[in-house]
A and B are shown apart, each in its own frame.
Chain A
Amino acid sequence: MTQKTLRKGNEALAEGAIRAGARFFAGYPITPQNEVPEYMAAHMADNGGAFVQAESEVAAINMVYGAAATGTRSMTSSSSPGISLKQEGITYLASADLPCLIVNVMRGGPGLGSISGAQGDYFQATRGGGNGDYHIIVLAPNSVEELGNFPKLGFDLAEKYRMPCMILADGILGQMMESMAFNFDPVDPNKIGKFDWAVDIHKNGRKKSKVFSYKGDNLIADVTERAKRYGLIEKTEARYEARNCEGADVILVAYGLSSRACLEAVSKAEEKGLKVGLFRPITLWPFPSKALKEVSQKAKGILVVEQSLGQLVQDVKLAVGDSVPVGLNAYPAGGQPDGEQILTAAKSLLTGKKEGLFDLQTHAEGFTYECKRDLSLGVQGDRKEVK
């Protein structure tokens, strides 16, 4: 544990990664993650590692593919449109069973979108993102301290399960400054140990190592083996934080920066005579479904707060089914959640009102929903019957 220092999110992440033993970084400039490659450019070489400013995000992730194949703790960082470009490399990394760390400091989308923080890449991150049947582990920090400490966790998990791990951070988290401390001692990359699958310089007739992505006739066995690994990960590695969920009427579900706004809502709820708890998934894949179902058994409702248009809410619905009503308080396209508005939505959920709620049932019941995008109030609108 280090002393607390004031750090910017992106810099805490970069320093945390170097401390975690990252010795290869390739990236390409994109806002709002530029401090990461800048920090790496300044410090990687001094720590005996390599920094490459790649010609594109595609090249950067493929450089990571090569470096990861050698067993080196390798990483890249980018923001939403850049992460889209990296999907080619990510699916190859998954198929070649290579561990690495990918950081997405999310911005608004689709397309070039905006540079303000957002959470619109939830589906892309948790569903794989590239072609084929695969998953990557997705960690969602909600503080600069977690941003600095998750690279260690990310590399450890990636190596344990031989798969890519992504840190999914909000743009604002990357840009904001907070007091933070590292909760681990610097990792000596030479002491991580050699991997028998890694390519390396041959010594004493060691068996040939082959890292490859074309599986041909073995693809079924390959994908099936990976599915078993995924099952184990879902069982053992789901992480979450539950606050005030015991006895809560409404449980807020949010990750990353949205969960910080929810904390405000939780603290203000008591003043207003509401019982509100927070369930924060820390791993978005594997999603802590079992834990969420358990803590929400006695709640009157779940309110999902996300800076995207109904993405996280789908995993919540999958987790709890019809056991508890689920509402959505959404702030897509760069909108920022606020504790008061979250409480308004929480009240609506309990009283059957509409204010602050995006109606999840409309589509299922044959209604469309006319969205009035009002960022100050989340997404609201009026139900309209489809003729």
Chain B
Amino acid sequence: MSTILAKKPSTLTDLPMHYCPGCGHGIVHRLLAETFEELNIADRVIGVAPVGCAVFADDYFTCDTVQGAHGRGPAIATGVKRSKPGAIVFSYQGDGDLASIGMAEIVHAAVRSENITVIFINNAIYGMTGGQMAPTTLVGQVATTAPKGRDPKMQGWPINMCEMLSQITGSKYLARVAVDTPQNVLKAKACIKKAFENQVNNVGFSMVEVISQCPTNWHASVEQALEFVRTKMIPQYPLGVFKDEGAK
């Protein structure tokens, strides 16, 4: 009789994910699913899926889900949470979604300190649409709409969301993590868990930014993509907890 040390959480459906090989989305999905199991909240989680690569995320979680318009996740989550205060509501968003078209929604969800959890996947590129420049694209990074690399004179500089949102009184927990190594994945898990515990404890707006790899649109092998995370992404987007008022 063998014991199971680790396996796919029951809070994920059996449907194989559509993400490209080596993409970070799947790792984050699993961390969320494990968190739902461990906090025993699976029966009351309602997820808000975005527009972007994770548009099909609603198929992968066993919880109830709402999939809405690009950038509006925090507004949709606000509507769900205010109508069902007992639910644990999370919005899952990419960088174009959250830091470009949905900038007003994320900022004001933080301003109102909506008691929701936001998972922000930052891979510095528009994935689903085929590699266009994102608000978080690094200086010099090539994208289909920045074919010579992002030039600050033309396209400005990348935006650091955790640092920006930390200036807002209503944001209560802000952490930036990566999923490039097992160590970082375990740290990411701890932060995601904290962000959901905060919601259970009515702390207020919590967001975890995940620096994720996009081998396909970075035109890199999985190995090279992880190297890019370590040597380029993390220097621009330092990892750590930027705000933790849930601890008080």
Contacts and interface: CB of A to CB of B under 8 A. Distances in A.
Direct contact of A and B (CB under 8 A): yes
Interface of A: 23-24, 26, 50, 52, 54-56, 58-60, 62-70, 72, 74, 88-89, 92, 96, 199-203, 208-214
Contacts of A70: 46, 79-80, 83-84, 87
B83 A208 contact: no
Interface residue SS majority, chain B: helix
Contacts of B43: 201-203
Contact of B82 (A24, A62, A200): A24
Contact of A210 (B64, B80, B83): B64
B87 A67 contact: no
Interface of B: 42-44, 46, 48-49, 51, 55-56, 58-59, 62-69, 72, 75-84, 86-87, 104-105, 107-108, 111-112
A72 B104 CA distance: 25
A32 B44 CA distance: 40
B63 to A, nearest CB: 7
A212 B58 CA distance: 8
A89 B69 contact: yes
Given A210-B58, A212-B67, A199 B80 contact: yes
Nearest to A58: B72
A200 B107 CA distance: 26
Contact of B66 (A23, A69, A88): A69
B87 A201 contact: yes
Contacts of A92: 68-69
A55 B49 contact: no
A203 B86 CA distance: 13
B64 A199 contact: yes
A211 B77 CA distance: 13
Given A62-B68, A66-B78, A212-B65, 17 more contacts: A59-B104, A63-B82, A65-B66, A65-B75, A65-B76, A69-B80, A70-B79, A70-B84, A72-B83, A89-B69, A199-B46, A201-B43, A201-B86, A212-B49, A213-B67, A213-B69, A214-B51
Contacts of B62: 208
Contact of A199 (B66, B78, B104): B66
21 contacts: A23-B83, A55-B105, A56-B104, A65-B66, A66-B68, A66-B77, A66-B78, A69-B76, A70-B80, A200-B64, A201-B84, A202-B43, A209-B65, A210-B58, A210-B59, A210-B64, A210-B65, A211-B67, A212-B65, A213-B67, A214-B55
B9 to A, nearest CB: 15
B72 A89 contact: yes
A76 to B, nearest CB: 10
Contacts of B76: 62-63, 65-66, 69
A74 B65 contact: no
B65 to A, nearest CB: 5
A52 B82 contact: yes
A23 B111 CA distance: 23
Contact of B63 (A23, A50, A208): A208
Given A24-B79, A92-B69, A202-B43, A59 B84 contact: no
A269 B77 CA distance: 56
A55 B104 contact: yes
